[in-house]
Amino acid sequence: MSMTPRERFYRVASHPPKWPDRVCIEFPGSSLTTNIVDQPPYGYRALCQYLGIIDYPPPQSHGVWGGVLNVDERILEKFGVDFRYLPRGEDPPEVLPNGYVRVKRYYGALWKPAYGRYSPVPDRETPARYMKTVKDIENYPYWPDTESSKARRELEEKAADLGKVARRLHEETDYAISGNPGSYDDEVYRWIRGFDQWIIDMKKDPEFYHALSSKILQIGMDRNEVYLNAIGDYIDRAQLGDDYGTQTGGMISLRDFREFCKPYHKKSFDLIKKYSKAKIQLHSCGSIHMYIKDFAEIGLDIIGQQIGFAKDMEPEKLKQDYGDMITFWGGMDTQRALVHWTPDQVKEWTKKCIKTLSPGYIIASNHTIERDTPPENIWAVHEAIQELGPY
């Protein structure tokens, strides 16, 4: 029996997962960590050309991350992508005289030019590094105004506009609609204060750590409460991001995670659940096996992305340890497999991921598909899905 993309998504994202008609697909996606860049020699344009699509609209790339935001509908259809995306509605980053950009959405975080787009600045150049006291946190100049009536009105207008888009997508399509109402992100802490200081604050000055994290959470919740009120009924997936893994293990101990990170994510998840029935999905780079059970406990439905390419992230291990409690997303490695392997090797890996992780699996790239990925390898993922056919 054939299912709509939305029906398919809800089946794979239930716990324990239920079998849909075929694998749920978000490849190549068009969201912040499942996307493709517009950079030669390959990238988005090479993929369009490979698929014979020549009249695509000019690609619009994300201001700092570089992924194409307006992936042509024909590409999403060809690959059978089950998701459609709400615009993120971010202000363009402010370009500074030294070529850096400052991002309002991330509370003044700075990015510097790197490999054809931008990368967060080194720790020593982060804007909130000087902070020492709770008073410094309050006086930080890049917190957005979420309280004045003018700011509130503007926020409500933006949210209402986004709500109209969400409602139209919900009512006029049968795709799973994806939004981004996450209120807390440890990455933002690191972007404004530095990765090293995130750890030093946590270990040496927990009071300050909690004060800054609480501030980040509160501002996020103030904003997202307005957005969720407008889009909550129409989104099927709330896509959130953070990073807790390195290639070889977690960044912090489980004890530290429970004390310094989990409570903030719980509040962010609770707010989403208050306004929406959307399934909650979190991106993290690296090896995150050790945190998955804790995330599931606080209501996370889907987690990704570096399946198969970081310690303890083998598909068999993930399925065996957590397959009943959470859905997995990712698997198509953008650092090695898609870049260096042959199309046949990519196909073999794709089939292995689907066979091992289904039914609780959404096939997606492990992160941004970079400019070094040949379109043949991107298409090989689709061919493997076709060769496997319905479940």
Partner 1 sequence: MTFEDLVNAVSDGDGEKAKFLTEKLIEEGVSPSDLIEKGLARGLRLLGERWAAGEVFLAEIMLAVSAFEDAKEVVKTRLKSGGTGELGTVVIGTVEGDIHYIGKNIVATMLEAADFKVIDLGEDVSVDKFCSTVNSARPDVLGMSCLISPALHQMKEVIDALKAKGLRDRLIVMVGGPPLSPEYAKEIGADIYASDAFEAVAKAKEAVRR
Q: Of 6, 179, 167, whose CA–CA distance to 82 is shortest?
A: 6
Among 92, 116, 206, 390, binds partner 1 (CB under 8 A): 116
247 binds partner 1 (CB under 8 A): yes
Whichever of 95 and 114 has its CB closer to partner 1, that residue is 114
Q: How far is the CB of 141 from partner 1 (least distance, A)?
A: 25
Stretch that binds partner 1, among 25-33, 81-89, 210-218, 335-343 (CB under 8 A): 335-343
251 binds partner 1 (CB under 8 A): yes
Among 102, 210, 273, 340, binds partner 1 (CB under 8 A): 340
Whichever of 188 and 235 has its CB closer to partner 1, that residue is 188
Gap between the Cα atoms of 17 and 291, Å rounded = 20
Among 139, 248, 342, 345, binds partner 1 (CB under 8 A): 248
CA 10 to chain centre: 18
Interface characters, 209-228, with partner 1 (x: CB under 8 A): --------------------
Among 126, 370, 379, 381, binds partner 1 (CB under 8 A): 370
Residues 35-64 that bind partner 1 (CB under 8 A): 39
Whichever of 89 and 113 has its CB closer to partner 1, that residue is 113
122 binds partner 1 (CB under 8 A): yes
Q: Of 34, 116, 41, whose CA–CA distance to 82 is shortest?
A: 34
339 binds partner 1 (CB under 8 A): yes
Whichever of 61 and 224 has its CB closer to partner 1, that residue is 61
Stretch that binds partner 1, among 8-16, 68-76, 98-106, 366-374 (CB under 8 A): 366-374
Stretch that binds partner 1, among 28-36, 91-99, 329-337, 345-353 (CB under 8 A): 329-337
Taking each helix axis from N to C end, the angle separating 343-357 and 375-388, rounded to the nearest 10 degrees, works out to 40
Stretch that binds partner 1, among 28-36, 154-162, 251-259, 261-269 (CB under 8 A): 251-259
Residues 141-200 that bind partner 1 (CB under 8 A): 195-196, 199-200
Gap between the Cα atoms of 382 and 78, Å rounded = 9
Whichever of 87 and 122 has its CB closer to partner 1, that residue is 122
CA atoms within 13 A of residue 375's CA, in its CB half-sphere: 18
377 binds partner 1 (CB under 8 A): no
Count of Cβ atoms closer than 10 Å to residue 338 Cβ: 23
∠ Cα 344 346 347 (to 5°): 65
114 binds partner 1 (CB under 8 A): yes
Q: How far is the CB of 252 from partner 1 (least distance, A)?
A: 5
Question: Site size for partner 1, by CB under 8 A?
Answer: 30
Q: Which residue has the tokens 């404004």?
A: 192
Count of Cβ atoms closer than 10 Å to residue 88 Cβ: 14
336 binds partner 1 (CB under 8 A): yes
Contact residues toward partner 1 (CB under 8 A) are: 39, 112, 114-116, 119, 122, 195-196, 199-200, 202-203, 246-253, 256, 334-336, 339-340, 370-372
